[in-house]
Amino acid sequence: MDEKILNKLQSVIYPGFKKSIVDFGFVKSTDPKIVVEITSAKPEVAQTIKNEIEKLNLGKEIDIIAPKPQTQQSNSQSGKNIAPQIKNFVMVSSGKGGVGKSTTTLNLAI
């Protein structure tokens, strides 16, 4: 990796932190293009880093690799009934522990 480019990239601070993308080890390559692999799936983080690198005028293509955002697997989103054979659900809850939730649930089931 090109030391001059790494020294310039040292000024690019990862959003929300005080360390640079070089300190975190996110810079994977500087030749032929700058490749930065980040841990955040938020597109605004990737865009911020890309904008900061572009401000340095390094004259290289910039590739930001980010994990794909997780898709929500909730049944409320899919609208599927996870237990079609069950007609009614009874929920037992409390904001406090040790009040007999498990005992009540067991007695209701019996």
Bridge pairing between strands 34-37 and 27-29? antiparallel
Question: Shortest CA distance to 91 belongs to which of 81, 105, 103?
Answer: 105
92, burial (CB in 10 Å: exposed 0-12, middle 13-18, buried 19+):
middle
Beta strands in the chain, from DSSP E residues, in sequence order: 27-29, 34-37, 62-65
Domain ranges of the chain: 3-65, 82-109
User: 3-class DSSP state for residue 35?
Assistant: strand
Using 50, 70 and 90 to split pLDDT, how confident is the model at 100?
Answer: very high
Task: For 44-55, write each residue's pLDDT tens digit.
Answer: 999 999 999 999
Task: For 22-36, write each residue's pLDDT tens digit.
Answer: 999 999 998 889 999
The whole-number pLDDT of residue 59 equals: 87
Specify the pTM: 0.61
